[in-house]
Chains A and B, each alone.
Chain A
């Protein structure tokens, strides 16, 4: 079945550590996105990529980094510079930049900083 796989589902980190969240899709989508979701809040865009080896900052990119070396993969690193990293992180993809407006989401990764 096609879809988006995020891992790990739950992650605990000590302050000062970097962590990397994995996102893999087998939908052959061009565009991929990372969002952060805090309780009672909507989705805030961290980074997005429309094509391999290219990505753009979203609204809240500070303290995060990404790479897009393969079409299928778009990992997110939460660095120690991110002041409040505890959150639910969602990865999404869409068919292409000129296509319909549907986003396909993974099941999310919940990061807790101890």
Chain B
């Protein structure tokens, strides 16, 4: 069983929809949770970074962490065609060695105009 499981997708939604992307994990030691966005044939870029449980909002994006359920989500409000990308969740035990985070397999999102 993988340490991090991500909803596989693909996901296709109309423009303006609310999107929910989700990951579950098994390692209770994870404390730092990240969401990366990866456009086709490009490298990922960090979208959201959160520590421990709770919500964090940035514009149309909200990251939610529920450590008791070992579940994290990324919500996108008023989705736009430019949001079409693959979204990777990642998590780590420490705020060091960022590159040793454990990644989900990614969910590919398409937002149709």
Contacts and interface: CB of A to CB of B under 8 A. Distances in A.
Given A40-B105, A42-B106, A94-B99, A101 B34 contact: yes
Contact of B98 (A6, A40, A41, A94): A94
How large, as a class, is the contact surface on chain A? Answer: 20 to 34
Contact of A100 (B43, B49, B88, B101): B49
Contacts of B60: none
How large, as a class, is the contact surface on chain B? Answer: 20 to 34
A66 interface: no
B17 interface: no
Nearest to A41: B105
Interface in A1-41: 4, 6, 31-33, 40-41
A107 B98 contact: no
B49 A101 contact: yes
Interface string B73-111: 000000000000000100010011111110111100000
Interface of B: 4, 6, 8, 32, 34, 36, 41-46, 49, 88, 92, 95-101, 103-106
8 contacts: A42-B103, A42-B105, A50-B97, A94-B99, A99-B95, A101-B95, A103-B36, A107-B41
